[in-house]
């Protein structure tokens, strides 16, 4: 499969249910395989209804952009970007955060993540932002490889201890 086999487009209201299904599946099933320690620290239960509500809120927020990847009309991935309007101790606002980038496991390694990276940078530049930032799990080697390929550099490391 190559880049011409999928389409990246702006999410629409009728996509909310499908995006929520993807987001829920990633949280419930896939995350435990790439970050098993998270399951040790978090007992958060993700429901599809909560995710639908979250996605709907994000789509209504003018500071959010949600894109989807589709193959034969079926959503196989999603990209959520948010405009950060505050400066922190590392980045001057405004800047764009890649909040979520999720692709069903069976559709990974087909260029969708790279297409999302290109789209994220394009949208951030269109808004006049100087920075595109994200957070990634230390154990998500596949994602880290993609981000490094796209010139992302680590600047912090978050640590936790369960007590």
Single pTM value for the model = 0.88
Q: Using the predicted structure, report yes or no on whether residue 50 has a pLDDT greater than 80.
A: yes
Q: Are 80 and 15 in contact (CB under 8 A)?
A: no
pLDDT (tens digit per residue) in 65-119: 999 999 999 999 999 999 999 998 889 999 999 999 999 999 999 999 999 999 9
Residue 40, Cα to own-chain centre: how many angstroms? 22
Instruction: Give residue 40's pLDDT band: very low, low, confident or very high (50, 70, 90).
Output: very low
């Amino acid at each position: 499969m190559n880049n011409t086999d999928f389409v990246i487009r702006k999410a629409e209201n009728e996509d909310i249910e499908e995006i929520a299904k993807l987001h829920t599946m990633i949280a419930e099933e896939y995350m435990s395989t790439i970050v098993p320690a998270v399951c040790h620290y978090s007992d958060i239960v993700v429901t599809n209804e909560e995710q639908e509500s979250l996605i709907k809120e994000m789509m209504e927020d003018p500071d959010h952009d949600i894109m989807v990847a589709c193959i034969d009309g079926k959503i196989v991935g999603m990209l959520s970007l948010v405009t950060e309007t505050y400066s922190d101790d590392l980045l001057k606002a405004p800047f764009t955060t890649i909040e979520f980038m999720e692709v069903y496991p069976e559709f990974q390694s087909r260029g969708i993540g790279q297409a999302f990276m290109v789209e994220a940078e394009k949208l951030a530049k269109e808004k006049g932002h100087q920075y595109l930032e994200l957070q990634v799990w230390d154990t998500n080697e596949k994602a880290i490889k993609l981000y490094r390929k796209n010139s992302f550099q680590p600047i912090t490391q978050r640590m936790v201890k369960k007590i």
